Structure 1
Amino acid sequence: MFLDNIPVHNLDESDFFVAERIENCAPLNFRGSHCHNFYELLFFMETGPEESHSIDFTEHPLQSNQIFLIRPGQVHTMKLKEQKGFLFAINRDYFERLCLHIESYADYSFPDILTLPDSEAPAVRRIADLIYAEHEKLHRKSLLNSYMHAFITHLLQLHTDAPGNQDIRVNRVLSLIDTHFISERTTDFYAREVNLSNKRMNELTKKAVGHTVKQLIDQRLLLEAKRMISHGASSFKEIVFDLGFSEASYFTRFFKEQSGYTPEQFRSLLKKDLS
C-alpha cells in the first residue's frame, strides 16, 4: 500500500523531548516525505542557498533565524545542504500541556513559521544552547522542563507581539475549523461560536490570514484529503465517506477546484516525489 511509502517517525513515550543539532542529524531523518506522532520544533540559525521546507505540500524557502513547528500528522520534507541549528522532538501531551499552562495559550496559537527579529535571535539561541547542553550532559528533567518552558514562552510572546497576531477571536475561529471542518461547513456555526456576525468574522480572518472563513474551511478539508491520500487510504471511496461528501464526483470536483489536480493526479505526483 502507499502507506508504506510515507514513514511515520515515532518518539518513545518515555521521552518528553529529544534535542539534536540539525547539522549532526542523519540525512535520512530529513529525506523524503514523512510525518511524526510528536511535535517537532526546527530552529534554523544558518541556511544555505536553495534550501526549502515543504509542510503539508506547501514549500517554504528557508531563512536564517527561522523556526518551524511541525504538528503530529503533518507531512513534510526538507531540502537541506548547509544548515545549522537545533531540532527539538517534543512529546505530544507534554507540548500541549506546556502551551496551555503558559498564560492560557493553546496549541493553535503557536505559529507554523516564526522568523525571529535580529534583535531577538541571540536570546533565543542562548536558550536553545542551554536546552541542548543540558540534554546532552546531565539531563536533569526539572531543568530541561524549565528551559523548554522559557523557550516556548519566549516564542509565543514574540508571535503575539507581531502585528496582526493579537486578536484571540481569530485563533478561536481557526481552532474551531480545525475541530469541526468535516461536520460544520457553513460559516453560521463559527460565527455563533465566537459571537460575531458573519461579516465581522470574515473581516477579522481576512485581515489576519488573508482568507474568508469559507475559504479556510475548504483549505482545511483539502489538506485533510491530501493527508489521507499521502497516508495510504485504501480507496478514494473511503476518503469520500470519511470526509462527508455525498458522492465521489463531488469530492473529485472539489479537489480539482481547490488544488488544480484530480485526486488520482495528486497521488501520482506523490509517488513520483518519493521514487
Structure 2
Amino acid sequence: MLKVKDELPVYDICTFRDSDHAHNEIVAECFADYLKKHPNLHRAHGHTFYHLVLFTKGSGFHTIDFERFKVEVGQIYFMVPGQVHGWQFEGEMDGFVVNFSEELFHSFLRDERYLGRFNFWRGITGENILTLTATELKEAGEMLSALVTETSAVKPFSKDKVRLLLLSLFILVARSENYPTEANESVKPNLQLLYKFRDLVNEKFKSLKLPKDYAEQLHVSANHLNAVCTELLGKSAGEVIRERILLEAKRKLVNLDESISTIAYSLGFSDNSYFTKFFKKYTGMTPEEFKKSVNDY
C-alpha cells in the first residue's frame, strides 16, 4: 500500500511484494530487477520498514534524511522506519536490496532491541553507510544472493534461514575493516553513555528539550554529558537534542498533510510562532519554505 501525504510518498512493505511472494515480512531482490519494477523510487520517499542496499555496480548519489552521499561499488547503507531518502543514479545499477518488517525478528530474538546493538541500525545518518573491502563485498554478495534464493519459496525452516542470513550479514558489516574501531578501555564508558543519551533523545525529544533533563535520567551531571558529546561528536548535548527535533520536523513537514501549528504542537512547541522562529534559525528557511522545497530534494 502507498500512502501519499502532501508531496512525499511513504511505502509499506506490501508495496514491494509480488502477489505470489512467499514471505510476508521480507523482500530480497537483485537491485537492477527492483529498480525496473519500481522506476519512481528515485524521488524522495519514506518507509515503514527496515531497508538496506548493497551496490555492486553503478554510480551517482543517494540522499538519506536530507544528507547527500556518493554511490560507490561495495557501499552498503541501512535505513530504519521513518527515515526519508531518494536516488540520483548514473548508468546501469546493480547490487542487492532487502526490505523487512519490524516483526521479522520479534519471535526469534529475546531482546526486541537487538538490532540497536549494530550502530548502523540506530537511524543516525552518516553512521549507517559503509564501504566494504573487496573480500567483504564478495562474502556479503554471497549471503545476499542466498537470501534472494531463500525468499523466493517457502521451505522447512525457511524463515529461520532468512533471519540467520541477515544476522550473519549484520555481523560481517559490524566486523568490517572499514567499520569504526572499538574505543579503547578509557573511552568505552563515555561511548556507552553517548549511546544511551542518543537512544533517550530519540525516545523523548518531543517532551524533553534540555540537556539537564537527560542528564538527570542518565544519573550524570549536565556538564559531564555535555563534555562527552563534545569529545566524541564535536557538538554539545544541546545540539544533539536540537538536531533530532529539526530532523523530525523535516520528516513531518514532507510526510504529513498537517498544518504547521499541528506539527509544532506534536513536537512539543506550545506556540506556532516559536516553532517557526526555531526552525528558521537553524535551517535558514521557514517551515512553509522547506515544505515547498521538497520537490527539489
TM-score (ref. length: structure 2)? 0.80
For the 8 Å contact 1:96–1:107, the answer to whether it is kept is: no
CA RMSD of aligned residues (A): 3.0
2:169 counterpart of 1:151: yes
Q: Which letter maps to 2:70? A: P
Shift of 1:159: 9.0
Taking the aligned partners of 1:203 and 1:190, their CA distance within structure 2 comes to 14
Taking the aligned partners of 1:80 and 1:160, their CA distance within structure 2 comes to 24
Matches within 5 A, 1:135-146: 135-136=151-152, 140-146=158-164
Taking the aligned partners of 2:159 and 2:104, their CA distance within structure 1 comes to 13
Taking the aligned partners of 1:189 and 1:240, their CA distance within structure 2 comes to 21
Q: Choose 214-223 or 238-247, whichever is displaced more.
A: 238-247
Where 2:72 maps in the other structure, the secondary structure is coil
Where 2:280 maps in the other structure, the secondary structure is helix
Where 2:39 maps in the other structure, the secondary structure is helix
Counterpart of 2:50?
39
Matches within 5 A, 1:23-172: 23-25=32-34, 26=36, 27-48=38-59, 51-81=60-90, 82-94=92-104, 101=111, 106=116, 109=119, 110=121, 111-136=127-152, 140-158=158-176, 162-163=180-181, 167-172=191-196
The total of aligned residue pairs comes to 271
Match of 2:204 among 169, 176, 180: 180
Counterpart of 1:225?
249
For the 8 Å contact 1:53–1:59, the answer to whether it is kept is: yes
Matches within 5 A, 1:186-265: 186-265=210-289
Q: Which letter maps to 1:86? A: F
Shift of 1:37: 1.2
Shift of 1:221: 0.5
In structure 2, relative to structure 1, the CA distance for the partners of 1:59 and 1:97 (3 Å cut) is: farther
Taking the aligned partners of 1:99 and 1:106, their CA distance within structure 2 comes to 12
Taking the aligned partners of 2:240 and 2:170, their CA distance within structure 1 comes to 26
Taking the aligned partners of 2:159 and 2:118, their CA distance within structure 1 comes to 26
Taking the aligned partners of 2:193 and 2:167, their CA distance within structure 1 comes to 25
Shift of 1:234: 2.2
In structure 2, relative to structure 1, the CA distance for the partners of 1:196 and 1:160 (3 Å cut) is: farther
Taking the aligned partners of 1:122 and 1:102, their CA distance within structure 2 comes to 30
Shift of 1:236: 0.8
1:190-236 residue CA offsets vs partner (Å, 9 max, x unmatched):
22333333333233333433322110111110111111110133211
Q: Choose 32-41 or 152-161, whichever is displaced more.
A: 152-161
Where 1:120 maps in the other structure, the secondary structure is helix
Q: Which letter maps to 1:16? A: E
Shift of 1:160: 10
Q: Unmatched 5+ residue regions in structure 1?
A: none
Q: Give the strand-richer structure, 1 or 2.
A: 2
For the 8 Å contact 1:99–1:105, the answer to whether it is kept is: no
Where 1:73 maps in the other structure, the secondary structure is coil
Where 1:47 maps in the other structure, the secondary structure is strand
Q: Which letter maps to 1:89? A: N
Shift of 1:189: 2.3
Where 2:83 maps in the other structure, the secondary structure is coil
